[in-house]
Amino acid sequence: MTYTLVILFLLTIKTMNIAKIDLNLLIYLDVLLREKNVTRSASQLNITQPAMSNGLKRLRNLFNDPILVRTSDGMVPTERARALAPVIRKILLELEEALQGEEEFNEKHSQRVFRIMASDYAASTLLPSLLRKINEIAPNVTIDIMTPSDVTFHDVEAGKIDMAINRFDELPQSFHQKTIWRDTFSCLLSADNPDVSKFNLNTYLSSKHVWVSKTGFGVGVGMDPKDVQKLGWVDEALARLGKKRDIKVFTRNYHVAMQLAFEDGLIATLPTKAALLHKDDQKYTIVRPPFDIPDIELKMIWSPLLHHDASHIWFRQLVIEAADQG
C-alpha cells in the first residue's frame, strides 16, 4: 500500500476515528460506487438487500455524506463519494494482492477454467495455437471464451475475467497489460472480383466496402459513416489523403466481413492475420492496401488482483508463447 494513498485517505476522513471503520464498509462502498445500485451490489457481495441498505446507511453516518443520491437517471454518487472511489479501490486492490498466498501451480493436474474475453479476430488467430499448447501440457485445463459484449471493465478489474484480449483505444491505469503482437492490414476480395487485376487506390475508392472493427468492451453502438474518427484506422488513413471509401455494410464480426467479401463482391480491409485465415482458399484473393495504414496492437489486459497468482502467471506466459508460434 503506498504512503501517498494512505495519506490521501486519512485526509479524506479527517478526524474520523479509524477504529470505527469496518473494512467491510469500505468493500461495500467500493461495490456501491461501481454498481450504483443497492440490489446489484448486494448480489455482487452475496448478501441480502437489507444488509446492503444497512451498510449504505452506516456509510452515510460514517462519512456524514449521502454517498449515493437518487435521481431520474438512477443512483448518482456525490462529489465526496467520487473523490473517495479511486482511493478506496486502489487500497482494496493492493490489500488483496498483499494477502494472496504464494501457491504453486501444477498445470499437468490442474482443472482450472480460464475465462478470456476475446474479439473474434483474437479468437480465430491466437486461440487455435494456444489450445494446441494447452492440450499438450495441461490437458485438464478449460478455456471459457467470452465476447466483448459479455464483459465490462469492472468484470476484468474485479478478477471475474482472467484476461481480455483485444485492441483497446483507452485503458484504466490500474490494469496490467502486454502487447501480444502488432499486425498490418490486408484487403480480402473474392477471387472473381474484377478489381483484383487492376487493384489501386482508384479502384479501391470506387468499390463497395464492408467495415469491420471491435475494440474494447461492451455492446457496440450504431455507426455514423460521416464520423471518421469513430470509423477507425482504415478510414482515418484515407481521411489524411482527403479520401473516403463507400461503406455498404458495418459489422463487428470479422468472419461476417470475410463472407460478405466473397458472396457480395465487397472489399474487406482487415488485420493481415485475419485475412490469412483464407490464404489457402482459392475463392479469395489477399492484396496489400493501396495506401498506408498504421499497424494495430493486439493486447492482453488483466486485473491487479491476478497479477501475482501462480496459475495466471503461467497462463500469461503460455499466451505469449502461442502468439510467437502462431
pLDDT tens per residue across span 101-150:
556 789 999 999 999 999 889 999 999 999 999 999 999 999 999 988 88
**Domain span including residue 49:** 3-99
pLDDT for 45? 82
What pLDDT digit, counting tens, does each position of 228-266 carry? Answer: 556 788 999 999 999 999 999 998 888 899 999 988 889
Q: What distance in Å separates the CA atoms of residue 211 and residue 179, rounded to the nearest whole number? A: 24
pLDDT at 5: 42
Q: What is the pLDDT of residue 7?
A: 42
| pLDDT the model gives residue 46 | 78
Q: Note whether 159 and 226 are same-domain residues.
A: no
Whether residue 166 is found in the same domain as residue 307: yes
Query: Nearest CA to 53 among 26, 22, 32?
Result: 32
235 plus 288 within the same structural domain = yes
The answer as to whether 195 is a domain residue is yes
Asked if 244 and 252 touch (Cβ cutoff 8 Å), the reply is: no
CA distance 232 to 234: 6
pLDDT given at position 3: 41
Non-local CB neighbours of 145 within 8 Å, separated by 6+ positions: 116, 118, 123, 127
Q: Do 35 and 10 fall within a single domain?
A: yes
Give yes or no: residues 147 and 281 share one domain: no
Give the residues of the chain that fall short of pLDDT 50: 1-15, 219
Number of domains in the chain: 3
Same domain, 129 and 221: no
Q: Can you give 90-127 as a three-state secondary structure string?
A: HHHHHHHHHHCCCCCCCCCCCCCEEEEEECHHHHHHCH
Specify the pLDDT at position 8.
44
The pTM score is: 0.67
Written as nine digits, the cell of 220 is 457496440
